[in-house]
Amino acid sequence: MVGAPGRRAAESQPCCCGVSLRWMKLPPVRTLGNERAREVPYMRYGHTAVLMDDTIYLWGGHSHRWFTPKVSGTVPGARDGHSSCVLKKAMYIFGGYEQLADCFSNDIHKLDTTEMVWSLINARGTPARWRDFHSATIIGTKMFVFGGRADRFGPFHSNNEIYCNKIKVFDTETNCWLSTASILPLPDGRRSHSAFSYNGELYIFGGYNARLDRHFNDLWKFNPGDSPFLRQIGNPCCGAVEPCCILYHSWERFFAKCMII
């Protein structure tokens, strides 16, 4: 569920079936009285959510309320617009806009969920640029970073925003940053899009580019082997309810058949 401070959370969640490519709406989550209301996450935006086994982990975001879970190690600074993804029993946090430092980040933190211990990864190679509201997706043992909002002059915000449309890859086995070939066509650079992997391929949907003043509702697919980006031809879901252009959305593959926004 995605929300923003002072606004009502979404009443329902759009869901796209990966087989029929038809959109539908899931019913809103209902609580069983006031005693269950505190179990629903507080409204927020700029957070991330990942699926591990049958449990969803929600982390961060901006809701004017920060809290520290019972963890140890090198805990990341409070931030929003970061990305998170899961490999086995580990959650990787990348980038975002750090609250106390008041700057973009390009560091990688890892949470071992078996011990609930954070660690800051000493990555090698040329890192992805400082950014927020990007996506990071695990395929195999590699993390694929796409898009997001960055600043032309580095980690500090100077109102010279740039939107990268190239993919950076982080190898979790070697802790090294890699680059991918830029093969046309490429999506327009964007932030606040969503991304997930399916059958070893990366899917990207929607987002926003402030320099173009444009919201997107296009769907792209990337094969990390030797194929370029391939845009979904026609409407995202022909003959059904098509999603409108959405900002601060997210999606997750559900039961290997549907994607939920």
pLDDT score of 253 more than 70:
no
pLDDT interval class at 96 (50, 70, 90): very high
Structure tokens at 21: 């490519």
Kindly tell me if the per-residue pLDDT of 249 is higher than 80.
no
Q: Flag whether pLDDT at 258 surpasses 60.
A: no
User: Domain tally for the chain?
Assistant: 1
Mean pLDDT estimate for the chain: 80
Q: pLDDT tier at 12 (50, 70, 90 boundaries)? A: low
We report the CATH number of the domain holding residue 119 as 2.120.10.80
239 part of a folded domain: no
Q: How many CB atoms lie within 10 A of CB 156?
A: 11
Structure-model confidence comparison of residues 111 and 259, the more confident one: 111
Q: Is residue 51 part of a domain?
A: yes
Q: What's the domain range around 91?
A: 43-228
In a domain, 217, yes or no: yes
Q: DSSP string spanning 64-116? A: S-----S-EESPPPPEES-EEEEETTEEEEE--EETTTTEEB--EEEEETTTT
pLDDT at 76: 92
pLDDT in tens, 16-55: 776 777 777 767 666 555 555 556 677 778 888 888 887 7
More confident residue, 1 or 182: 182
The half-sphere exposure of 123 on its side-chain side, counting CA atoms within 13 A, is 20
